[in-house]
Amino acid sequence: MLYVVPTPIGNLEDITLRALGVLRRVQLILAEDTRTSSVLLKHYDIHTPLRSHHKFNEHQTCEREAEEIAAGKEVALISDAGTPGISDPGFMLVRACVQKGAEVQCLPGATAFVPALVDSGLPCDRFYFEGFLPQKKGRQTRLQQLAEQEHTMIIYESPFRLVKTLQQLAEYLGAERLASVSRELSKLHEDTRRGTLQQLVEHFTAQPPKGEIVIIVAGKET
């Protein structure tokens, strides 16, 4: 069995009792960064062995790991924060396990875009998850495509590229398009700013942001 286990995106209390039980019970935990995950495990007095599983090694290791799981090993997969596979390593291992007939269970739990989407005040009955935009090749094409998207859009971004991305969204989608920027979700300095794309550009130009960023943008009006 492979258990895909969401972990807190900030506040360490945002983990389920079921997740803690799984992390204690399995034979091995695959972690995006063992140093980061060790903080969580130490907090909850969990001593299950850890092994690195990240975007730089998953191509080489997922087949071996999937074979171990298919042979009967119980393994949990976690990322640094949130749900593995959502802009984090995980998809390749899940696919390999499915192909080998190993059972996979994804536990419900924390992921950054859900609270950001609800906090935005924009329609959330239907939405489009973009994740991280291409940094170079294909970025202009994606922005052009997003300009035609009718559903509320979810974009992940680093604080260092936030202003540039907001400026480009304003250019392609229109400066008056409504949006929100959430950062440090579930942490002490959690903050959500709402307004037009132009207003958000001005705000974050004057006050450079810190922390993980989720941008929510209104869809094109029809």
Q: Which domain holds residue 118?
A: 113-217
Whether 73 contacts 28, CB under 8 Å: yes
Tell me which amino acid residue 99 is: Q
Q: Are 35 and 69 in contact (CB under 8 A)?
A: no
Tell me whether residue 168 is in a domain.
yes
Q: How many structural domains does the chain have?
A: 2
Helices (H), 45-121: 58-70, 91-99, 113-120
φ, ψ for residue 66 (rounded to 5)?
Answer: -65, -35
Tokens representing 50 are 């850890």
Identify whether residues 161 and 190 lie together within a single domain: yes
pLDDT (tens place) for every residue of the chain, 222 residues total: 999 999 999 999 999 999 999 999 999 999 999 999 999 999 999 999 999 999 899 889 999 999 999 999 999 999 999 999 999 999 999 999 999 999 999 999 999 999 999 999 999 999 999 999 999 899 999 999 999 999 999 999 999 999 999 999 999 999 999 999 999 999 999 999 999 999 999 999 999 999 999 999 999 998
Output the domain CATH number for residue 135: 3.30.950.10
Residue 203 covered by a domain: yes
Task: Specify the pTM.
Answer: 0.93
C-alpha span between 194 and 187 (Å, rounded) = 19
**Domain endpoint, select from 106, 124, 145:** 106
pLDDT in tens, 68-97: 999 999 999 999 999 999 999 999 999 999
Do 100 and 162 fall within a single domain? no
- In a domain, residue 222? The reply is no
Domain membership of residue 117 (yes or no) is yes
Say whether both 130 and 183 belong to one domain.
yes
φ, ψ (nearest 5 deg) of residue 183: -140, 155
Here the tokens at position 135 are: 């940094």
Choose the final residue of a domain: 55, 83, 106.
Answer: 106
Which 8-state DSSP code applies to residue 138? T
- Report pLDDT for 222: 80
Only one residue has tokens 């989608």, namely 173
- Spatial CB neighbours of 104, under 8 Å, sequence gap ≥ 6: 1, 2, 4, 94, 97, 98
